[in-house]
């Protein structure tokens, strides 16, 4: 009986070993191919990163201080972008940021382009830089270290508004308070309309300056730091976002008109049409 059991065990062990050998023989080409693919992928990633041009946060900040014309494209998601982004940067997905999109921004092939990410996914950003460079945009670069490096160096970030902490940056002014201010210091009041150019042309507060919200950070220099800025937008949410952004840009004498343009018109305030 014992001999028979031993023979059965030997048979089973032998069968398992033969089966494993056959499986390995059949699977070996696939395994080696996958291993080679993984190795090639790693080489490809390294090659993309090494090929792409980059710019340090210090050099970017210096160029911005010198008011050089730079297109800064932030490739992060909307939530992260609104938590804090580099002034005058615009958010794009990697898919939509292509040569055609950049040309639609009025940039030529020599334009300075800086792509920004969070700092932990260098490959995708580097790949996009190389793609744009291949399309002729020779000055395309990615920000070395991404937004994390920018923050660690203490460089300023602008909020996109809408966050809980942004509420303290927004001040409102009622129509009655505004009228009192206009009677006392009308020459020191600057109305700011952040709606689209088309909406502005359809009707706006007389004397208002038109800076659409999408251009606010880029065109902040048009605002007087000594005047009281009264802003309004297409909605209260839009106006609050603008006020929060201007606060981060060190413009503190900014007030959101309670009720916006409609409240002004309902009270008989003067309006104009046209650009």
- Single pTM value for the model: 0.79
In this predicted structure, what is the pLDDT of residue 263? 96
Lowest mean pLDDT of 21-35, 152-166, 222-236, 243-257, name the range.
21-35
pLDDT for 205 equals 98
Cα–Cα dist 232/212, whole Å: 11
**Rounded to a whole number, what is the distance in angstroms from the first to the last CA of the chain?**
104
What is the residue-averaged pLDDT of the chain?
Answer: 89
pLDDT > 90: percent of the chain: 76
Radius of gyration of the chain (CA): 30
- pLDDT, average across residues 173-188: 95
Cβ neighbours around 200 below 10 Å, total: 22
How is residue 85 annotated by DSSP? B
* Four-CA torsion 88, 89, 92, 93, nearest 10 degrees: -160
Using one digit for the tens of pLDDT, what is the confidence trace for 125-157?
Answer: 999 999 999 999 999 999 999 999 999 999 999
Phi, psi of 138 (to 5 degrees): -70, -20
CA distance 63 to 69: 8
Q: pLDDT category, 18, cuts 50, 70, 90?
A: confident
Question: What is the pLDDT at residue 22?
Answer: 72
pLDDT at residue 131, rounded to an integer: 96
pLDDT at 250 over 80: yes
Dihedral sign (CA 250, 253, 258, 261): negative
Q: Is the pLDDT of residue 183 over 60?
A: yes
pLDDT of 4 reads: 54
Which has more confidence, 12 or 79? 79
Q: Are 203 and 271 in contact (CB under 8 A)?
A: yes
73 Cβ contact partners less than 8 Å away, ≥ 6 residues apart: 89, 90, 91, 92, 97, 113, 114, 115, 116
Please say whether the beta carbons of 132 and 91 come within 8 A: no
Q: Of 7-21, 113-127, 252-266, where does the model show the most confidence?
A: 252-266
Q: What are the residues whose beta carbons fall under 8 Å from the beta carbon of 59, sequence distance 6 or more? A: none
User: In this structure, what is the dihedral angle of CA atoms 46, 47, 51, 54, given to the nearest 10 degrees?
Assistant: -10
Q: Above 70 in pLDDT, residue 27? A: no
pLDDT given at position 155: 96
């Amino acid at each position: 009986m014992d001999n028979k059991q031993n023979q059965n065990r030997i048979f089973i062990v032998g069968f398992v070993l033969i089966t494993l050998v056959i499986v390995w023989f059949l699977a070996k080409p696939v395994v080696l191919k996958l291993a080679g693919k993984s190795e090639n992928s790693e080489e490809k990633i390294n090659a993309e990163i090494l090929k792409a041009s980059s710019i340090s946060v210090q050099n970017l900040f210096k160029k911005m201080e010198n008011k050089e014309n730079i297109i800064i494209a932030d490739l992060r998601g909307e939530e992260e972008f609104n938590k804090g982004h580099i002034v005058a940067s615009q958010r794009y997905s990697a898919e939509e940021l292509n040569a055609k999109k950049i040309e639609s921004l009025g940039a030529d092939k020599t334009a300075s382009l800086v792509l920004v990410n969070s700092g932990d996914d260098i490959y995708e950003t580097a790949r996009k830089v190389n793609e744009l460079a291949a399309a002729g945009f020779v000055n395309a670069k990615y920000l070395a270290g991404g937004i994390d490096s920018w923050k660690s160096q203490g460089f300023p970030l602008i909020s996109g508004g809408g966050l809980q902490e942004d509420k303290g940056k927004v001040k409102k002014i009622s129509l009655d308070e505004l009228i009192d201010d206009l009677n006392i210091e009308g020459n020191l009041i600057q109305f700011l309309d952040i709606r689209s150019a088309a909406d502005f042309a359809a009707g706006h507060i007389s004397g208002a300056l038109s800076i659409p919200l999408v251009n606010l950070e880029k065109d902040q220099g048009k605002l007087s730091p000594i005047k009281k800025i009264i802003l309004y937008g297409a909605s209260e949410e839009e106006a609050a976002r603008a006020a929060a952004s201007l606060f981060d840009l060190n413009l503190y004498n900014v007030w959101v008109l309670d009720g916006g343009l409609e409240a002004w018109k309902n009270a008989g305030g003067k309006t104009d049409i046209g650009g």
